[in-house]
Amino acid sequence: MTDEGAPTANAGYDEWIDALAAGDGHALVCPEGHGSLPPRRVCPECGAADLAGEPLPETGTVETYTVVHVPSPRFADDAPYVTAVVRFGPVRLTGIVRGIDPAGDEDGVEVGATVEADVGERETDGGRIVAFRPVEP
Amino acid sequence: MTEVRVAGVGLTRFGSHPERTGRDLFAEAADSAFADAGVDRTDVEELNYGNFMGALAEHQGHQAPLMAEAAGVRCPATRYESACASAGVAVREAVRTVRSGEADVVLAGGMERMTNLDTEGATEGLAIAADDLFEVRAGVTFPGAYALMARAYFEAHGGSREDLAHVAAKNHANALPNEYAQFRSEVSVEEALDSPPVAEPLHLYDACPITDGASALVFVSAEYAAENGLDAPVSVTGTGQGTDRMALADRADLAATPAAAAAATAAYDDAGVGSGDVDLAEVHDCFTIAEVLAIESLGLAEPGEGISAARDGRTTADGDVPVNLSGGLKAKGHPVGATGGSQIAELTRLLRGDHPNSEHVPDAEVAVAHNAGGTVASAVVHVLEVAE
Ligand SMILES: [Zn+2]
């Protein structure tokens, strides 16, 4: 839950989310093409140690989502909110969909929707989150 | 390989006991198990104890020696933690220990104390079973994770909230006569559909409650049972465990639970049975969709057909293979670290004929227990059979 300028709390993850915020989101990919997210020393699927950083595609596709009404304390002021699992090339990211109205008649997002990934803040405590925004496909 | 018998089972009533200590809950379950078994507690050679969030709920780590004291046993004692499958893995290691000949008598089970936390605290506690960096920080709650799976299932196979409501109604109906169940009240499909949303598409009556409770089981070798003249007709004939990627997003298929399928295959092979031999099952229905995924992983329904099993009456008390005759996690309750032991206790009673729902399975010989951790990154399956 560190912010830019704060000491590193989770080395590997912190740099990854910094990069995502800077528009340089990336995944680790092994020679077999398995994608994963840092920190990794080996591929979690096959154990290969030869992992290369690969830029994430500009946009991803929503594979599933939920409208969360009962949050954990860190998200108390954020609810209701939409958490989605989105395919970006070799990996899926889990994040919160912003720029929609989750309390509306429609959820504001659907499976198959195209989104881009960025970094946003929790309304509750300002902690950083992976944020998705719908874009025209 | 030594045959393992269930000599005795013990449970607390599942429910809300916010004032009761964890050690008192486990002591009650262990006392009941020893009384049921007719085994002298001084014969216990190991204690395998399951607990998930005691460090959060009771500020109590290192619980195994505490629970050995509570149960009145002095022997090697170890706490097992695999989220909601904690007692399942504790049972599995007990079975392996007796089978190997390392011990003739092992006490296994678990305890969870949860209702002393408020809803937010319990929600936070349960969420630590998910990946903190990549899931919890993205707002994934325990119901939220299963909601993600439910929507993925609907997309892949079809199905509706109404299908899930039939699972809830079935399990509440099964819990009515169960004296250990947290909820002994019927819930109609309409009531389930009309309950408030928790994490859409899941609503309140799709979810198991927050529960305090404990389970305890006395496992013995068949030789010990014979030498001591024990009435222990149920044998654990198969055990299997599976592990998957921790985070849901990293799974190959968001609408299936391959760790449970791997555990089931291993357990069936171990027992020398197939899914077609199963007469009844207790499965890990922490949410209604979880029961659907469980029966598909156990081979009791084809992929995509588990969703309609309750609605079509295939898994109801008078169906082909009754599922969760105890009421399941949904209605019996889910004291996380005790649940895997409770499933074995319920199946043992059902097979022995001394369960209030035994009348629905009078000729049953093969039963299966499915216990899952997190979003089924961990799964344990056991096969129980009537040996005598
Ligand atoms: Zn690989």
Rounded to whole angstroms, the Cα distance separating A55 from A87 reads 13
Of A37, A64, A75, which has the smallest distance from its Cβ to B148's Cβ?
A: A64
Burial of B82 (0-12, 13-18, 19+ CB in 10 A): buried
Tokens of B237: 């004939």
- What pLDDT, on the 0 to 100 scale, is given for residue B23? 98
Q: Is B84 in the active site?
A: yes
ipTM field: 0.95
Chain A: closest CA distance from residue B204 (Å) = 10
Alpha helices, H only, B43-141: 54-57, 63-71, 86-99, 119-127
Q: Which residues of B fall within a CB distance of 8 Å from A73?
A: 120-121, 123-124
Domain extents for chain A? 1-56, 57-137
Class of the CATH-defined domain B4-118+209-380: alpha beta
Is the CB of B200 inside 8 Å of chain A's CB atoms? yes
pLDDT bucket at A5, cuts 50 / 70 / 90: low
- What pLDDT, on the 0 to 100 scale, is given for residue A108? 83
Domain extents for chain B? 4-118+209-380
Chain mean pLDDT for chain B: 97
CB of B174 closer than 8 Å to CB of B315: no
Q: Is B334 in the active site?
A: yes
CB of A81 closer than 8 Å to CB of B138: no
Rounded to whole angstroms, the Cα distance separating B252 from B259 reads 11
Is the CB of B254 inside 8 Å of chain A's CB atoms? yes
Residue range A57-137 in CATH 2.40.50: yes
Interval B189-242: pLDDT, tens? 999 999 999 999 999 999 999 999 999 999 999 999 999 999 999 999 999 999
Of B84, B172, B355, B370, catalytic? B84
Query: β-pairing, B280-282 with B366-373?
Result: parallel
Interval B279-300: pLDDT, tens? 999 999 999 999 999 999 999 9
Q: Which residues of B fall within a CB distance of 8 Å from A76?
A: 120
Task: Tell me the mean pLDDT in the region B336-360.
Answer: 98
Of B172, B203, B284, B334, catalytic? B334
pLDDT over 70 percentage in chain B: 100
